[in-house]
Amino acid sequence: SAVTSLSLRDADMLPPAEIAAAVVAALEASHAATEGDVVTAVARSLGFKSTGDSLRTRITAEIRRLVAAGRIRDENQMLRLSE
């Protein structure tokens, strides 16, 4: 018997824009955070109780894309929004 739930989300189905918005929101709330803290905050804000490898990979990739685009900066392993 297959079990389905609207509350279950698949990390691979998350749009990059939704992840990026959650990353920015996490940094707006904390002003600065480690990558690990941002990953955890983003996962929770997107409704995930745990951060599996797939989800962590997707969030980390989006953080790196935002750093490369200049939206956030990595200063001594602390992520901050760019001014």
Q: When comparing pLDDT for 10 and 63, which is higher?
A: 63
The reported pLDDT for the residue numbered 10 is: 82
Q: Which tens digits make up the pLDDT trace of 8-36?
A: 568 888 999 999 999 999 999 999 999 99
The SS3 call for residue 73 is strand
pTM recorded for the entire structure? 0.87
pLDDT, greater one: 40 or 13: 40
Mean pLDDT calculated for residue range 50-56: 92
Gap between the Cα atoms of 77 and 36, Å rounded: 10
